[in-house]
């Protein structure tokens, strides 16, 4: 938090990379690493999506922290005995402390842990997805899409930077502002960008080019949480996502695309925000709505053309232990 009441995200990360050539001391090796996410967290959601799209389930195991945590960090309270079954730890903090005793920055997800040492290798969420799509190429499934095609990289980076500043982080700047002036500024920036996105997506199926790219992977986790959390809880309430025709159809299109909606657990998302943020929601009451059935309604975006996976193919269903509760049409 700045002296002016604006929320500033701590972007101090462990930037060690896991690469094909092992340049940082951590070569890509099947079975050596464990990706830790939380279903609640939008930043971790990106890694879960890319891991699915790349088909890395058999080479990079997945640990899932529960939606609740305290000042000591994310915990594995949903796992038997409250311990991650591979790492044997109660809280993700333990893996950070094994890397750096008393680690002073945020204990964040996603994080990739080196299983033999139990140490976090990286929590650099932007680099993680890029590396899963490139450095892990030898272990990707046949038909894995190219989410960061070279010819579109400058535009992907530009769009993703705007989305990060005003939308991904913008909703937090609204929610955690400590005075009216800071909130007003964040709110205006958010909605200027949302209007820009609504216009951009009015005539094109995806943010950049005619296929799903990193830009879409970065926007989706915020939009899918918008009505359930950010609209009310973070006071981003000019309109609901369902009131923005292009953005609502775009997000439903992605939600119904394999690798996206099958990473979303709305119950865990709501439990995290409404229970953990005591200063915003001191009662800890979790809302029952909104009705999720609309996520399965036709979106009509196929009329805009585009090829979701480019020259690739959809990923198969997630392995049974990683499946999220399905939305019921008769809810």
Closest CA to 171 of 255, 229, 110: 229
Give CA 98 to chain center in angstroms. Answer: 25
Phi, psi of 35 (to 5 degrees): -85, 120
**Distance (Å, rounded) from C-alpha 30 to C-alpha 135?**
12
Catalytic residue list contains 236: no
**Distance (Å, rounded) from C-alpha 277 to C-alpha 282?**
7
Structure tokens at 244: 């923005």
* Options 33, 41, 96, 183, the catalytic residue: 41
Structure tokens at 102: 């008393």
Closest CA to 299 of 260, 256, 331: 256
* Options 172, 183, 187, 230, the catalytic residue: 172
Catalytic residue list contains 148: no
Structure tokens at 318: 């997630």
Phi, psi of 73 (to 5 degrees): 115, 180
Structure tokens at 148: 């960061």
> Which residues are known to be catalytic?
41, 172
């Amino acid at each position: 938090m700045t002296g002016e009441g604006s929320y500033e995200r701590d972007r101090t990360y462990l930037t060690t990379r896991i690469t094909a050539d092992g340049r940082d001391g951590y070569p890509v090796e099947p079975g050596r690493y464990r990706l830790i996410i939380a279903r609640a967290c939008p930043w971790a959601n990106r890694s879960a999506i890319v891991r699915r799209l790349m088909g890395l389930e058999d080479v990079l195991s997945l640990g899932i922290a529960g939606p609740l945590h305290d000042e000591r960090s994310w915990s594995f309270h949903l796992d038997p005995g409250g311990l991650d079954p591979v790492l044997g730890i109660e809280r993700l903090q333990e893996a950070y402390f094994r890397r750096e005793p008393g680690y002073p920055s945020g204990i964040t997800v996603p994080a990739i842990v080196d299983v033999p040492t139990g140490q976090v290798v990286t929590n650099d969420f932007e680099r993680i997805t890029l590396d899963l799509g490139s450095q892990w190429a030898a272990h990707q499934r046949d038909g894995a899409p190219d989410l960061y095609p070279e010819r579109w990289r400058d535009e992907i980076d530009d769009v993703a930077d705007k989305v990060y500043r005003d939308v991904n982080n913008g909703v937090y700047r609204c929610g955690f502002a400590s005075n009216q002036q800071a909130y007003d500024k964040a709110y205006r920036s958010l909605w200027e960008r949302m209007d820009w996105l609504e216009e951009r997506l009015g005539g094109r199926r995806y943010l950049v080019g005619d296929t799903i790219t990193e830009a879409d992977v970065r926007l989706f986790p915020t939009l899918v949480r918008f009505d359930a959390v950010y609209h009310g809880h973070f006071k981003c309430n000019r309109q609901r996502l369902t009131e923005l025709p292009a953005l609502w159809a775009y997000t439903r299109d992605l939600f119904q695309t394999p690798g996206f909606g099958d990473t979303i657990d709305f119950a865990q998302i709501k439990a995290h925000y409404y229970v953990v943020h005591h200063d915003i929601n001191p009662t800890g009451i979790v809302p029952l709505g909104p009705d999720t059935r609309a996520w399965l309604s036709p979106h009509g975006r196929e009329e805009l053309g585009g090829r979701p996976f480019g020259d690739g193919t959809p990923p198969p269903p997630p392995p049974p232990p990683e499946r999220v509760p399905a939305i019921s049409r008769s809810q």
